[in-house]
Amino acid sequence: MYLPDFDYIAAATVVKASRLLGSLGPEAKLIAGGTDVLPMLKQGTLATKTLISINRLSELKNISFEKGKGHIIGALATHNEVMKSPVLQEKYMSVCETAHRMANNQIRNIGTIGGNISNAVPSADFPPILIALGATVTLQNSSGSRTLPLEGFFMGPRQSVIAQDEILTEIVIPENGFSGSTYHKFGLRRSGALAVVGVAVAVAMEGNICKDACIVLGAVAPTPMRAKEAEALLRGKEVSDALLEKAGKLAAAASNPITDIRGSEEYRRDMVRVFTRRCLRKAMDNGHV
């Protein structure tokens, strides 16, 4: 499979990239690492006349902590940069572990967290854990920017609220009261496999009492989804194996998976039950977020 012909423009700033996207319209496509865009161009599932690259904008690679704001991850941070970030490792090991389980080393070296989110694929690994931790995203165009909860970003498979001329610039995990979090995915291979089911959990524990819980399911609905009934069941309760099993069942009942080549609807739903229970136990026991 060969790449079709296209023009390639390396944008010098976010504003310039936004202006180009706005003026060229839907025939132009933004590219970051290209690990999704280039295979789609080769397969013919994406047609574009112009690729606008933001890959040289080093200011979008920043990973830092700002008091009062939280942990900031630039949209161009690669999976390996997220995985190896000392700032994230110190507080959100769950996010680093999520990056570690993605794709393979080559893809992790060039694929970006912004591309993973913007692509809006239901099986993407970063969105569930970032939503569970209450992350926001900032979208910028040539006239300004807006910040919204990542939870409200996705509209359907490969559909999001992002406008043609908007660029996702940063992800922020705000300071929160969670005491533990984790993400587990089930893929058909050990490496380079997309999630058949992905479950992310963040909890706030006081002794054995669950003060708060956020459960996000990936790959089992058109968008990442919260299991809100299971969350409500856990809040304020003393944790037991029976409670976690019940939460798993509620999460499974809320999920809306499809049957495809990677797994049946019934199998995915049962995996949600098992993974929710396991993730809750791990997040409650692990003592780090």
Ligand X SMILES: Cc1cc2nc3c(=O)[nH]c(=O)nc-3n(C[C@H](O)[C@H](O)[C@H](O)COP(=O)(O)OP(=O)(O)OC[C@H]3O[C@@H](n4cnc5c(N)ncnc54)[C@H](O)[C@@H]3O)c2cc1C
Question: Residue 83, interface with ligand X (CB under 6 A)?
Answer: no
Tokens of 50: 């112009």
> Using CA atoms, how far apart are residues 101 and 197, in angstroms rounded to an integer?
13
Between residues 63 and 234, which has the closer beta carbon with respect to ligand X? 63
Instruction: Return the residue matching tokens 């996010």.
Output: 95
* Least distance to ligand X, CB of residue 110, Å: 6
Q: Is 34 in the site for ligand X (CB under 6 A)?
A: yes
Q: Which of 24, 28, 31, 252 binds ligand X (CB under 6 A)?
A: 31
Residue type, 68: G
Nearest to 210 by CA among 185, 180, 190: 180
List the one residue from 28, 92, 95, 114 that touches ligand X (CB under 6 A).
114
Instruction: Find residue 10's DSSP bridge partners.
Output: 53
**CB burial of residue 206 (10 Å; 0-12, 13-18, 19+):** exposed
Find the binder of ligand X among 192, 208, 232, 253 (CB under 6 A): 192
CB of 179 or CB of 223, closer to ligand X = 223
β-pairing verdict for 50-53 and 28-31: parallel
Rule CB under 6 A: is residue 37 a binding residue for ligand X?
yes
CB of 34 or CB of 212, closer to ligand X: 34
User: What's the closest the beta carbon of residue 16 comes to ligand X, in angstroms?
Assistant: 14
The residue type found at 20 is L
Residue 106 CA to chain centroid, in angstroms?
19
Q: Which of 18, 24, 28, 29 binds ligand X (CB under 6 A)?
A: 29
Q: What is the dihedral of CA 109, 149, 137, 253, to 10 degrees?
A: 20
183 or 205: CB nearest ligand X: 183
Residue 48, C-beta contacts closer than 8 angstroms, at least 6 positions apart: 6, 27, 28, 29, 41
Q: Does 30 bind ligand X (CB under 6 A)?
A: yes
| Residue 22 is a binding residue for ligand X (CB under 6 A) | no
32 binds ligand X (CB under 6 A): yes
- Which of the ranges 117-125, 245-253, 254-262, 267-275 carries the binding residues for ligand X, by CB under 6 A? 117-125
Interface with ligand X, residue 88, by CB under 6 A: no
**The one among 48, 80, 94, 116 contacting ligand X by CB under 6 A:** 116
For residue 51, state whether it binds ligand X (rule: CB under 6 A): no
Q: Which of 48, 80, 112, 136 binds ligand X (CB under 6 A)?
A: 112
Question: 264 CB contacts (<8 Å, ≥6 apart)?
Answer: none
Query: Backbone dihedral region of 17: left (phi > 0), alpha (psi from -120 to 50 degrees) or beta?
Result: alpha
Q: Is 48 in the site for ligand X (CB under 6 A)?
A: no
Which positions touch ligand X (CB under 6 A)?
A: 29-37, 39, 75, 102-103, 107, 111-112, 114-116, 118-119, 124-125, 162, 167-168, 192, 194
